[in-house]
Structure 1
């Protein structure tokens, strides 16, 4: 395992960690929070709010720390209000708990619209598989075609784990298999469709690269959906803590 990570607040910067603990529902802490347009009763999505990518969200000893590119910070406890709101997330309802704290005001200012921070149930605002894997060979191939560093590409594609495997797109052949990740084990369920979000700079959130076009130049689209695919989704079979091998 050469990289592990997730975003504590849905849509914000994908954070790298030394280890990720997998529960039966997926990575502990992954998208534990999200932002809500209360008036529209919708969970904010990166594809519609790309500037979310520029927001760094990190759990802190007293709750949650939010940092903006401007240097503005909101840090403090995330306190339940005892108010639940059912919102739409990709066409399905999800019950969320609205939270008090300093974060919502700062994020509303950044996004230019009123939003509220909310607590999500495990897997509640996860689009597809609980766990996503990408092989190092896949990132190396795409790096050679885009000129972007592998670390940059890993942050753009936002996999839970980058697995050391030399063959480009080796993970495609894992669908249907179980894969050991240290003490944990996952079952690979499907390949992952990709959209223009991967063209956002993983630090600034600005568009400018042509990663999706580079992928389209050599990867066939899915016959059934027409999607471009990279990486695989998985479900947890055996929970455990997966550590990054810093010697790899």
Structure 2
């Protein structure tokens, strides 16, 4: 029997590392949410232009304050102060091999005003690249956190609420018991039109301490989680679970 859960938020970021935005409707296929991390920012190796590195959010926290949305063929990027560019990324035919958390991914560099805006915001030269589905996704294609666990974490840090965008989840689902998702390994759940199979817990890093609106670290969620949540071998606390898509379909948040 497949259980059905209520989705209260569904979202993704079209450029890896930028603000995780909620969407009224997200389509899930075998590779996760359609439109998720279709682009990435890369730092090109000056000594070898054919190689580079995908920017990591934890090392570039200002990225999370940038809003990015795709409408049709146009990619719109907005900085916190309101400066905005909107254009269709132009294919260059250039391909670059980039390191992404210790593995090589091949990306296609694109032209447009976006790279200049990001370079100014981050105070370092970067290029915008198009990524194949799943290439700049860490571990599972879908990530899921629960309302009860978010409420429990808010209680631990003496806050009314914790913004789920800090955890960048594909889905936030409604639950009554904190961390009940820890027991869901292998379970199939229905969310909207889609069916998911729950996987392993998600290890967390310092990105969750970053305030999405500003890119500044403002609360020690990671340290708090480490006091009462299971840790992996790297000392990272678990919060939320990965999942794979068994039956594709649309999900509303």
Measured against the shorter chain, the TM-score band is over 0.9
Consecutive unaligned residues in structure 1, runs of 5 or more: none
Aligned length in residues: 242
Inter-partner Cα distance in structure 1 for 2:136 and 2:160? 29
Task: Give the structure-1-normalised TM-score.
Answer: 0.94
Distance 1:234 1:180, change over 3 A: same
2:108–2:129: 8 Å Cα contact kept in structure 1?
A: yes
Consecutive unaligned residues in structure 2, runs of 5 or more: 1-6, 46-50
Matched, 1:118 2:129: yes
4+ residue runs of structure 1 moved beyond 6 angstroms?
none
1:186–1:235: 8 Å Cα contact kept in structure 2?
A: yes
Inter-partner Cα distance in structure 1 for 2:159 and 2:132? 35
Question: Could you say which residue in structure 1 is the equivalent of 2:40?
Answer: 34
Question: Could you say which residue in structure 1 is the equivalent of 2:114?
Answer: 103
Inter-partner Cα distance in structure 1 for 2:202 and 2:75? 30
Question: Could you say which residue in structure 1 is the equivalent of 2:172?
Answer: 162
Please report how far the alpha carbon of residue 28 of structure 1 lies from its aligned counterpart in structure 2 after TM superposition.
Answer: 0.1
Distance 1:187 1:100, change over 3 A: same
Cα deviation, 1:193-216, whole Å, max 9, x if unaligned, reads 001111001110101211112212
1:5–1:161: 8 Å Cα contact kept in structure 2?
A: yes
Please report how far the alpha carbon of residue 149 of structure 1 lies from its aligned counterpart in structure 2 after TM superposition.
Answer: 4.7
Cα deviation, 1:82-113, whole Å, max 9, x if unaligned, reads 11111110111111011011100000000111
Q: 1:230 aligns with which of 215, 228, 239?
A: 239
State the Cα RMSD in Å: 1.3
Inter-partner Cα distance in structure 1 for 2:160 and 2:25? 22
Task: Give the structure-2-normalised TM-score.
Answer: 0.92
Question: Could you say which residue in structure 1 is the equivalent of 2:143?
Answer: 132
The answer to which of 53-62 and 125-134 deviates more is 53-62
Question: Could you say which residue in structure 1 is the equivalent of 2:3?
Answer: none
Inter-partner Cα distance in structure 2 for 1:19 and 1:146? 31
Inter-partner Cα distance in structure 2 for 1:49 and 1:226? 22
